[in-house]
Amino acid sequence: MTPTQTTSWNTQRIQTLLDLPLPELLWQAQQVHRAHFDPTEIQLSSLLSIKTGGCAEDCAYCPQSAHYDVGVTAGKLMDVDAVLAHAQAAKDAGAGRFCMGAAWREPKDRDLDKIAAIVRGVKALGLQTCMTLGMLTAEQAQRLADAGLDYYNHNLDTSPEFYGRIITTRTYQERLDTLQHVRAAGMAVCCGGIVGMGESRADRAALLAELAALDPYPESVPINALVRVAGTPLEHAPDLDPFEFVRTVAAARIVMPRAWVRLSAGRKELGDGIQALCFLAGANSIFYGDTLLVTGNAEVEADRALFSRLGLRAQGLPPAADAPAAGSVTRRTIALQPEN
């Protein structure tokens, strides 16, 4: 189902949400989440870099940029069979969506034949497909759609006001143009941003307002925590209060109620406790296992253990006998023993 927005969310309204006491913000987010999703179900995606390094963009957070010396060797686009082997491993580990990223400013038309073959091969394994290849023309977006690509990822990264401090080689409007091409071609949109780059709470509100204003808003919204990589301009970015990350997730859930809100880059560094709060705040998708582009991701067994401790399950698996139905809000009354 394509999400639609019935409430107008501007930056000021979203900042009012972000300023709420955390218990109140989480309660509002939980109510929205339970109205549209099973709160115990998490969608699992796996991400593979199919072309690493050498990107012409100067994104200040990115170790794949050719502008920075971080020890990443530029590689060529992977062969189809190698990508499919990774996709099969991801499926065997429980992932339902396979996301593929290439470090390009934009793909060359000559690359799209191999890209299309990769998409068809991954879909034949029974996985949903997502790609992030940089900017797209309308014709390139249509070729990807014709190959059967389900999702295209192209993040806005941050607010329009803060954007120029992070990227100078691509404008905000160019990002919006690519999203428009993706939507016109009939693909689902995966679009989110990064928190912890030195932006303000107002910038995070403005980013969410931009996402919510897309018509329709994205089906998938990745919320990334900055991973500070030595050699990039943001290697010494100030620490982000982890509760600010939780607040961002909760606000994303409220303003985009039917979107899959995904914990993406930086999830490993959040720790189990903050991840649990994010799930309470409405996050219901994670990148799972393998390698998140060129930064680490939580190992599969650690994720499974965390799910078990929290009573969560992967999308598509049978619910536990006492799990609530999707869209329902349940409360359990527990009789407390008197203190001795």
What are the C-alpha distances in Å from 172 to residues 16, 59, 61, 175?
25, 12, 16, 5
CB atoms within 10 A of CB 332: 6
- Of 84, 149, 34, 128, the C-alpha closest to 316 is 128
Residue where the block lists tokens 């990350």: 245
* Catalytic residue annotation: 55, 59, 62, 99, 130, 190, 262
Q: What DSSP line would sit under 45-103, residue for residue? A: EEEEEEE-S-BS---TT-TTBTTS-SSPPP-PPPPHHHHHHHHHHHHHTT-SEEEEEE-
The angle subtended at Cα 258 by Cα 252 and Cα 262, nearest 5°, is: 50
- Of 105, 132, 109, 135, the C-alpha closest to 119 is 132
Residue where the block lists tokens 């050699």: 231
